[in-house]
Amino acid sequence: MQYKDLAINPVSVVLQLVGAKWKLLIIKELLKKELRFVELKKKLGCTAKVLTNCLKELEEDGLVVREEIESSQLHVEYYLTDIGYTLRPVIESMQKWGKEYKKLRKLMEKAANIN
């Protein structure tokens, strides 16, 4: 996505870039370490087509790098760019919020069942 195509609202920009479920999960995994396509697919449980499309978009947006590695057999690894790593606090905040929400939701449902 080019700069001119980005939304005016900053929250909308984030959603444009990583709003898809799989993109956030890809970034979450790549924050830990670089991964091969097959490793990402296995960790996420998505289809190859979905993963390919998301990785291409993340690469085009400057968040992920695709590197071909030549050894005895050619393989491809993906890792985050410096800009991609700046999403770490966003992902961590989402994880924290998600855990807290689950706790609160459980308490709400438990209280509702008591009445």
pLDDT of residue 47 exceeding 70? yes
Look at residue 44 and tell me whether its pLDDT is greater than 70: yes
Confidence check: pLDDT of 4 > 90: no
Question: Quick one: what percent of the chain has pLDDT higher than 70?
Answer: 99
Mean per-residue pLDDT for 61-80? 91
In this structure, how many other beta carbons lie within 10 angstroms of the beta carbon of residue 103? 10
pLDDT(115) > 80: no
Q: What is the pTM of this model?
A: 0.86
The pLDDT value given to residue 66: 96
Q: What is the CATH number that goes with domain 3-114?
A: 1.10.10.10
Residue-averaged pLDDT of the chain? 91
- Coil, strand, or helix at residue 7? coil
Long-range pairs of 96-100 with CB within 8 A, sequence gap ≥ 24: none
The residues spanned by each domain of the chain are: 3-114
Please name the amino acid found at residue 91. Answer: I
Quick one: pLDDT band at residue 50, thresholds 50, 70, 90? very high
Write the DSSP string, 33-86.
--EEHHHHHHHH---HHHHHHHHHHHHHTTSEEEEEE-SSS-EEEEEE-HHHHT
